[in-house]
Structure 1
Amino acid sequence: MRRVVQDLGFAGAGCLTTACQIHLTRECLTLFSGNELCLGAALGSWLCGIALGSSVGAWLARRSTSPGTSLAVALVLLSASCMTLLRLFRSLAGVGPGELPGALSLLLAGAVLVLPGAVIAGALFPLLCADSGASGDPQPVGRVYAIESLGAAAGGAFVSVWAAGTLSPFMSLALCALPALLFLPLARIPSSAWAVRRAAGLLPAILLLGAAASGLPSRLDEWSARLRFEQLTTGERLKASADTPYQRLDLAEREDQFSLYADGKLLSTFPDPWRELPRAHLVLTQHPAPRRVLWLGSSGLLAAPAALRHGVQHLVIVDMDPGIGALIVPRLDEGARAALADERVRRVSGDGRRFLRETEERYDVIFSDAPDPLTAAQSRYFSLEFFRLARERLADGGLLALRLGGSFNVADPFTARRLLSTLATLRQVFPGARALPGAGTFLLGATDPDSLLLSAEALRRRFQERDVRDPQFHPAQFAAAFETAQVGQLEAALENGPAPSLNLDGRPTVMLSGILRESLIESPTSVAWLERLLAVPAWWWILLCLLPGLALMAWVAFGRKANERRRTAVVAFAVTVAGATGLGLEISLSLAYQTLAGSLYRELGFLLASFMLGLAAAGAPLRAYLMRRLATERMLAAWMLLFAGFCAGVPALLWAAEGLLPFGAGRAVLLALVFLSGAGTGVTFPLAARLSQPVGAGAAAARINRADHMGAAAGALLVGLLVLPVLGWTGACLLFAILLFQAAGLLWVAGAPSASPN
């Protein structure tokens, strides 16, 4: 019975640490306006803290008393505190009104507010392994690893599938902490102990239950969320908030004017006829007879009355975040609500790209009114794959229109770079695509490029010939919507200058330009440094990643002494590479999943659960196998080769999942790839732990856990901040395949024909 309680404690620890990781990462996503680069920084900081904590845990494991419960309590309190401080980070870091935190703030938040909790989480694992070894388990590291991974998978699924959108983050964290605070102390208290001692051990769980029952976590969430919004210093009053699968939404009001914020960034204001009406009339006047119109974006809810004045017979508005419509529509005026109720209007809630992928209809006009691409989720509406998909859904003579903030002649270079990249990408599908520059820039791609109207006067004439009557819009406003004199400048720069990088789903270059633009406000020096790094040829980065393995290979090949030290170093290197590969693949596949499904914010825990389930599923049967067989370096080398082959095959499977398979099948393929990525690390860990067993359970756990998480931290940081923007999904997968092949070669050379002792 005690073994069962102990296993439940191990699973509870995994559930707790995963919940802390997910909630801290989601707070980082909200703080940095949903930008996925923070996945690399947040996960990298978390995993680096796990690695540092492993050394602390090894030291504690040598002591007579294991403070596992105390560490669990400290982890809950510290994580809740850091979540609160992340919500207050704008004030603490001095981010001004209207500004977005830049790259330096991103790294600072990870180091100061994510890493400390991870140190405590990392210290737990060696302690749990020492407890398992003390109870007589012959393979304590493998057992704890598998059970803790199962608990982590359960925690990730709980947070994403049920708690997200139902409970506040603080309440979700409290519930995920209960199993650890309940079963960890019970496993250490003998059944013969007095009832008072058992009650004392359960005191943290009892106090946490009392706090949850009193509603303290929910009140903390409301208080900190209100302070987070007040840091924007808009002078508005917060009216409503919502956590959606896509982002955190805040609706504010001042003098009957509403503003909608997504992850702290202004998304829309309404009523605002000076913004919405010129945009709608300009796009629809571009087409000679717009009968069937597809509007991608929640701004279509505001522009529907204007669109219907153009003789539109069928208007489809894809509300790409249903939470936006729920906040906006009840506050629209009577005319706007009547337009949305018109039989010619069809509202669709869900991802715009998925709708385009699944619909069979053809449209005269498709207007993609996505926000400026500061995230990979937004960048996918400006990518080559999106433009190809939209082209397939256009009728003969059809028009695709999109809009980007800023103009070509602005002072900073990154806005121009983003515009050039987007136009170059659009011209791969629409060779005659044109730009209408102004305060914002409209990009137009038509199946018949000669039909495009490139002057305000031409638009005015067509508008009047169509006899459109809108009391809130005059055709003279076309002259203010864009600068006719500047038409052609962007095209000339594209044709006469160096070819810009194309924006792809797997390599979102326009997102990177947006991030550098925001970072320019915060720190021009850091931007110059980042630009120099990004200008380094890709093959230099590949060589740099291979250098540690090459140096170790030279030592192994030419060194003739200290065989045990060489074997230990090679095994640690293999674990490091496997950890980097597992997390690098998880981040790459998470972004691929977002490209397909449209959301990552809420489903982050679900993806992490799939990864951890792969860890557990691979580790449990291997642990049973190693009870009968000796572990050798060459056994681990063979697995590294299989893992390398898997990485090399991932790009082809991604291509099939994103472009060939139906949505459900593609989603299943991506989840299977995440599961298998976890399995790759799940096999490596117990094999390496078995090879390191002679040093003792606690020390072996600390050594392998440290190497695994240092590699995972490096993989998360490099992939999230550098490899994906430079090499893309395909390059990242192939780089990891090369590193795994290198590790396999090292293991094969280092492994003598005799098996390692166990």
Structure 2
Amino acid sequence: MKKYLVLGLILIGFTSLASQIVLMRELMVVFYGNELSLGITLAGWLFWVAVGSWGIGRFFVERVRHKLAFFVFAELLLALFLPASIFAARAIPLLLKTSPGEIIGFLPMTYSSLVILAPTCLLLGFLFVLGCRIYAPKSREGPEHIGYVYVLEAIGATSGGLLSGLLLIRVLPPLYIMLGIALLNLGVAFSLTWFLEEKRSLLLFPTSILILLGLSLFSFGKVEDLRQASLDLRWRTYHLLTSQNSIYGNLVVTEKDNTYSFFNNGLYNFTVPDKLTSERIAHFALLEHPEPRKVLLIGGGVSGVLKEILKHPVEKVDYLELDPLMVTLAKEYLYSTEEYVLDDRRVEVKNIDGRLFVKQTSDKYDIVIVNLPQPFTAQINRFYTVEFFKDARKILKEKGILFFGITSSPNYISEEQRNLLVSLNESLKKVFAEVRVIPGDTNYFLGCKSKGVLTLDYQRLMERLNERKVKAKYVREYYLASELSDERIDYLEGKLLPLPKVMLNYDFRPISYYYDMVLWSTHFKFSLAKIFKKISPKGIYVAAILIYCAILLPIWLRKSRNEVRPVAVLTAVATTGFAEITFQVLTLLSFQIIYGYVYYKLSIILTSFMIGLIFGGWWASKIIEKGRGNFLNFIQAQICICIYPLILPLIFLGFAGSSGKFSTYLGSNIILPFLPIIAGFIGGFQFPLANKLYLQSRGGLVRAAGLTYGVDLFSSCLGALLVSVFLLPILGIPVVCLMVALLNVVSLVLLLRGKGAD
């Protein structure tokens, strides 16, 4: 039986990370590509696993009489919940009564994620504690057994992460993957059933039925019918033409009333035809330049903007589109429309990240148009930062212009909207000699290298339109006279005056991303905008100091060494858990900021952390098994946790500032994806030692396993939420790393107070 139990424990880890990757990608699409969903999903995942291990497992496992039978039953439930979670995720817009492309609020995003993740994660947390007890019965309790179960789970998680990340998500839809994982769990449950002395027949029958049902679904092609049914749940108000995954994300094309809409990671990109938007973007940008000859277009070229650009006397248009699948789908569905002009000899399509191209190219352009959604996500925000503006300025000719648009209002600008506009305007003015903003339902920002080039005189713009013989339906004299009236210009310029508390937008302090999130939160019935607006750097620093003081409270109360030690150990587990998840979130978002396609590397980054856990946990367990592994080793691990966050910003900033092809390859394929191995090793090494030290103070294997695992996960949950939502955008990555280092230094001080002879 032992080998099947080991296989079951490995499968817990495999199921945990593989399903986590699938669900994180799925929820990221449901929540429109917003990386905030990554933090919320991680937090929700860790919270429920902690409840399952600390809350349920710690108190319930010893009361279970037939532990192996219950393990099998939990595996059966897990097999049912996995595919059901895909249906539940895709039903979120239906349940929340939102339309495809309509942004979901922070609170609905949070509670819908928690509900969907709860069944699977509660079972996984409970199975870990139950597995510890079955693997190590009371007759041979020891901390090394918790460590070995921890390592077995990490081995499974690593296997699941690598297999799903490198193969499964590339060739199979999410529902297929979840059903496959469910069948694996049923197979292990079926094998363990034969070792049951009681309850065998009660569990053997449903296990066999579920296995046969799963195999039948694959054999008779019914899985594809289920997949289509799940997609129809989400895109119910549209005719879904296709939903395809690439390494860069999920692309969807829908059709309604003879118009085609494109969605990237669930976020609405554009509709064809949309002549008004296409004309505004193309003509506002090109009419500002006296002689536009060479244009760089970043994103959205297949929407009709390219067609309008080509009406001007341009000689060359470089169109950047990261995902080749976008161009492929445009050819398939838009080829017969008049907006399709990709075959024009003046157009060159380049499938490359816009930031990377701008940083590496030696070409010079008259106009650079950023035709992307506003900075709703970290991936898009990187095109609205001071660093990007500096890179764009370098590739512009002397009278070159950078152009982008932000949704607004011509007659009323709210405080939340104003903060976002001022942040972007001031960031642009920091780089460009002249900055003007065109008012309207969308504010179009113009930054020019030279003064005296930009104009908001509609008559001058009309002269250029007529001189170039550009035929436009909307951007005409009557339209320009209204949009560029003195009243509207004066009102907007007044709203764009600098505000003392509004900060500039930088790569590693993406504050405009935060301002946009605050603005976005005002659109919902239960708005958190008031709470978001009250959070400031000063308030965060005060809260951090209070937490540091609270950790040191046992020292100030003059508690004895024996009283301090167990508290110090659990505190270190908590601060390490907070730090470890912070490292994960920062690595994910830094990769997104620097390279722009974390959807592709998500599984590798998560898996590399588990690789570190394996080696760290295995090494510590072997040390403990040999009778070594003491409080000093635990303190040494804590010192490493204090040092590691001080190194991270140097690595991130170093690769962000490099533009060479070798450094780009090194950073995107080796260093950043596998950087979490180091953090994983430290955390994996510390966890078995924490269990040994706690067992020495309190005793009880199940209690120790459930408590330490739960504390680790609860603090990780808190870290994922706080860092992704507040700390990163408001303080920036370097400051967050410093605060995490100080948090663990304070924890180290408490540990040193509990140090004694071992």
Q: Same fold (TM over 0.5)?
A: yes
In structure 1, which of residues 438, 448, 451 is the aligned counterpart of residue 450 of structure 2?
A: 448
Alignment of 1:289-368 (within 5 A): 289-299=291-301, 302-332=304-334, 334=336, 336=338, 339-368=341-370
2: distance between equivalents of 1:559 and 1:157? 47
CA distance in structure 1 between the partners assigned to 2:523 and 2:401 by the alignment? 36
Is 1:58 aligned with 2:58?
yes
1:740 aligns with 2:744: yes
Offset of 1:216 from its aligned partner? 4.2
Distance 1:534 1:81 in 2: 40
Q: 1:75 to 1:193 in 2, by over 3 A?
A: closer
The answer as to 2:720 corresponding to 1:716 is: yes
Question: Following superposition of structure 1 onto structure 2, how do residues 111-150 of structure 1 map, counting pairs within 5 Å?
Answer: 111-134=114-137, 139-150=144-155
Distance (whole Å) between structure 2 residues aligned to residue 575 and residue 185 of structure 1: 36
Candidates 209, 215, 223, aligned match of 1:209: 215
CA distance in 1, matches of 2:264, 2:211: 36
- Asked whether the 8 Å contact 1:723–1:732 carries over to 2, the reply is yes
Q: Give runs of aligned pairs for residues 291-690 of structure 1, distance below 5 A.
A: 291-299=293-301, 302-332=304-334, 334=336, 336=338, 339-407=341-409, 409-465=411-467, 467-470=468-471, 475-476=476-477, 479=480, 482-485=483-486, 486-487=488-489, 489-495=491-497, 497-498=499-500, 500-523=502-525, 525-534=527-536, 537-555=539-557, 558-560=558-560, 564-660=562-658, 662-667=663-668, 668-690=670-692
Going from structure 1 to structure 2, the CA distance change for 1:598 and 1:496 (only over 3 Å counts) comes to closer
Q: Deviations over 1:276-335 (max 9, x none)?
A: 123212212222222221100023552223222322222111123333323223333557
Q: Return the letter of the residue paired with 2:736.
A: A
Contiguous gaps of at least 5 residues in structure 1: none
Q: Equivalences for 1:204-243 in 2 at 5 Å?
A: 204-205=210-211, 207-230=213-236, 233=237, 236-243=238-245
**C-alpha deviations, 1:694-734, integer Å up to 9, x for none?**
52433321121111111111111111222112212112211
CA change 1:548–1:31 in 2 (3 A) is farther
Judge conservation of contact 1:377–1:595 (CA < 8 Å) in 2.
yes
Per-residue CA deviation, residues 11-33 of structure 1 (Å, 9 max, x unaligned), is 21111112232233233322321
In 2, the alpha carbon distance for the partners of 1:700 and 1:568 equals 11
Q: Work out whether 1:170 is the aligned partner of 2:175.
A: yes
Retained in 2: the 8 A contact 1:377–1:599?
yes
Task: Report deviation, 1:594.
Answer: 1.1
**How far is 1:659 from its partner?**
1.5
**Secondary structure at the residue paired with 2:349?**
strand
8 Å contact from structure 1 (residues 460, 478) kept in 2: no
Matched, 1:706 2:706: no
Report the Cα distance in structure 1 between the residues aligned to 2:657 and 2:79, rounded to whole angstroms.
42
* Kept in 1: contact 2:365–2:400 (CA 8 A): yes
Asked whether the equivalents of residues 296 and 320 of structure 1 are also in contact (C-alpha less than 8 Å), the reply is no
Q: Between Structure 1 and Structure 2, how many residues are aligned?
A: 744
SS in 2 for 1:289: coil
Counterpart of 1:274 in structure 2 is: 276
C-alpha contact (below 8 Å) 2:76/2:186 kept by paired residues:
yes
Is residue 73–residue 203 contact of structure 2 (8 Å, CA) maintained in 1?
A: no
Matches within 5 A, 1:61-80: 61-62=61-62, 63-66=64-67, 67-80=70-83
Aligned AA (2:123): I
1:17 paired residue number: 16
TM-score with structure 1 setting the length:
0.91
**Are the structure 2 counterparts of residues 640 and 731 from structure 1 closer, same or farther at C-alpha, using a change threshold of 3 Å?**
same
Distance 2:589 2:250 in 1: 18
CA distance in 2, matches of 1:38, 1:436: 33
| Root mean square deviation, CA, Å | 2.9
Output the amino acid matched with 2:255.
E
Q: What displacement does 1:96 show?
A: 6.7
Q: Structure 2 vs 1, CA of residues 52 and 229 (structure 1 numbering), >3 Å: closer, same or farther?
A: same
Task: State the SS of the aligned residue for 1:304.
Answer: helix
Q: Which letter maps to 2:241?
A: K
Q: Which amino acid aligns with 1:571?
A: V
Distance in 2 of aligned mates of 1:340 and 1:278: 20
Q: Is the 8 A contact 2:279 2:472 kept in 1?
A: no
Q: Pick closer, same or farther for the CA change 1:169–1:280 going to 2, 3 Å.
A: same
- Distance verdict in 2 for CA 1:351–1:12, change over 3 Å: same
Write out per-residue CA displacement over residues 421-446 of structure 1, whole angstroms, 9 at most, x where no aligned residue.
Answer: 11111111114222111111111111
How do 1:22-61 and structure 2 match up within 5 A?
22-55=21-54, 56-61=56-61
From 100, 112, 128, the equivalent of 1:109 is 112
CA distance 1:544–1:409, change in 2 (3 Å): farther
Distance 1:43 1:456 in 2: 50
Corresponding residue SS for 1:320 = coil
What is the CA-CA distance between 1:688 and the residue it aligns to?
Answer: 0.8
**Structure 2 Cα separation of the partners of residues 223 and 480 of structure 1:** 50
Report the alpha carbon displacement of residue 405 of structure 1 after superposing the two structures with TM. Answer: 1.1
Residue 702 to residue 275, structure 1, CA distance change in 2 (3 Å): same
3-state DSSP of counterpart to 1:692 = helix
CA distance in 2, matches of 1:320, 1:19: 26
CA separation of 1:95 and 1:644: change in aligned 2, threshold 3 A: same
* In structure 1, distance between residues paired with 2:730 and 2:204: 56
Once the two structures are superposed, what CA deviation does each residue of 1:120-169 show, in whole Å capped at 9, x if it has no partner?
Answer: 11001111212222496962111111121121122122223222242221
Deviation at 1:599, TM superposition (A): 1.8
Q: How far apart in 1 are the matches of 2:43 and 2:160?
A: 20
* SS across alignment from 1:252: strand
For residue 161 of structure 1, what is the aligned residue in structure 2?
166
CA contact (8 A) 1:577 1:740 kept: yes
1:92-107 pair list within 5 angstroms: 92-95=95-98, 99-107=102-110
Partner SS, residue 172 of structure 1: helix
Q: For the Cα contact (< 8 Å) 1:283–1:401, is it kept in 2? A: yes
8 Å Cα contact 1:454-1:484 kept in structure 2: no
Q: Which moved more, 1:361-370 or 1:153-162?
A: 153-162
Q: Label 1:353 to 1:281 Cα distance change in 2 as closer, same or farther (>3 A).
A: same
- SS of 1:399's partner is strand
Answer with 433-442 or 19-28: which moved more. 19-28
Structure 2 residues without counterparts, runs of 5 or longer: none
Instruction: Evaluate the alpha carbon distance shift between residue 195 and residue 58 of structure 1 in structure 2; reply closer, same or farther with a 3 A threshold.
Output: closer
User: In structure 2, how many angstroms separate the alpha carbons of the residues matched to 1:626 and 1:370?
Assistant: 55
Change (3 A) 1:130 1:433: same
Question: What secondary structure sits across from 2:508 in the alignment?
Answer: coil
Instruction: Tell me the distance in 1 between the aligned counterparts of 2:197 and 2:89.
Output: 45
- Asked whether the 8 Å contact 2:422–2:499 carries over to 1, the reply is no
Cα deviation digits, residues 437-485 of structure 1 (max 9, x gap): 11111111111131112222111112333x2343657643760784342
**Residue 92 (structure 1) shift:** 2.4
| TM-score, length of structure 2 as denominator length | 0.91
The answer (yes or no) to whether the contact 2:40–2:113 under 8 Å persists in 1 is yes
Cα distance in 1, alignment partners of residues 202 and 216 from structure 2: 20
Displacement, 1:591?
0.6
Instruction: State the AA in 2 paired with 1:86.
Output: A
In 2, Cα distance between the equivalents of 1:552 and 1:654?
A: 37
| CA drift at 1:264 | 4.4
